[in-house]
Structure 1
């Protein structure tokens, strides 16, 4: 599908059966879509969700930190570009016949989480928004358009999302009257949820196996609460 002037290559995972199912949009870290997100989408399909892990970089995985920052920092500073990427992926998910269009959540990690939040600030009808590491504040007043619960997770030792950024994010959510939650995982760094990689990473990035598992359970719990509670 097309977005941000690129041909994006997402990963769609379908649950068993032929009926319409609740759906989850799954956004990757700034490095881009990898097998980590593909496996997460597959795991959500096994739980009964239609899941689309979306692309950020036109089928590329940016393992060079400088190249990743050169693309992601301007993107994170441009809410409209983030929304365009999110809308294109969401339209692709909605076009899947198995998707129940009235029961969609957006969950993302890092840049993907920031995009999920921007969809909420754009007033998109979502049942839930989840973001890990992507606690980016939006333009003044736009968080009031968020119409669903927001769950956020972050490592206590994350230098990229420090306490001041967490406080700004929670103040934005609170002022907008959003139903929000923030989980701070003690001792965890940035991208603590992501398995170790064999390339150079930014300072302050590190895997925390126990908290990675806990954060995944929290994401699954959010989807269960907000997508399947009416079944």
Structure 2
């Protein structure tokens, strides 16, 4: 296993003090970087491990925070914070830009070679960065197939990859169609991967707290989705020695 280094970082966003997780590959050179966004409940060890796995592949990775260092395990509390957030593109962009600034300022990051990969709310934030015209190499979103304000998708400057479970009741066919129509109308280089039989948050390991209806882990597709994301990064943001 490749030796990596990790560090906790704190930074202001959305009126909170956010606590992110930075992971670095071995060496001292600058390299490609990945902004990694979590599901609605917030940053957990799942995303920290994903950032570490990306560092092992040669990326500088920042798993960013949504809720000021808190993980919202109660669905009611999570929805009370996330639903207004998802309805406010400017707030989402503010959270994304704050994390992106931290990643760009890191001396090991190449500020011109950054991808945004996110899950659920974290994926929606990545898309909003794209709609805000941020220079990214690729955007990948699992579950977070949100649509933006009219016309703003035309500002996306990179390929967009999206993954969703075929039976996801939170991202139903009408939402997927609205998302793909937005991408196509804007002339974005987009892809949608549908994982047959999977529901919402299928990629996330089982948790020991109450979850929303329609949320369930799918081990096979979780593995496939991670493989697809790694392949996406290899295509659009390759690590060069």
Aligned position for 1:54: 64
How many Å separate the matches in 1 of 2:160 and 2:62?
Answer: 19
Aligned: 1:200 with 2:210: yes
SS of match in other structure, 1:25 = strand
Aligned position for 1:23: 33
Aligned position for 2:94: 84
Shift of 1:228: 1.3
User: How many residues align structurally?
Assistant: 231
Q: Which runs of 5+ in 1 are unaligned?
A: none
Aligned position for 1:99: 109
How many Å separate the matches in 1 of 2:227 and 2:238?
Answer: 15
Aligned: 1:10 with 2:20: yes
Aligned: 1:179 with 2:173: no
Aligned: 1:212 with 2:211: no
How many Å separate the matches in 2 of 1:130 and 1:110?
Answer: 11
C-alpha contact (below 8 Å) 2:32/2:239 kept by paired residues: no
- RMSD between aligned alpha carbons? 0.9
How many Å separate the matches in 2 of 1:171 and 1:207?
Answer: 28
How many Å separate the matches in 1 of 2:103 and 2:234?
Answer: 19
How many Å separate the matches in 1 of 2:15 and 2:62?
Answer: 20
SS of match in other structure, 1:9 = strand
Q: Which runs of 5+ in 2 are unaligned?
A: 1-10
SS of match in other structure, 1:67 = helix
How many Å separate the matches in 2 of 1:90 and 1:229?
Answer: 19
Aligned position for 2:8: none
SS of match in other structure, 1:206 = coil
Shift of 1:23: 0.3
C-alpha contact (below 8 Å) 2:163/2:193 kept by paired residues: yes
1:157 to 154, 158, 167: 167
2:201 to 174, 183, 191: 191
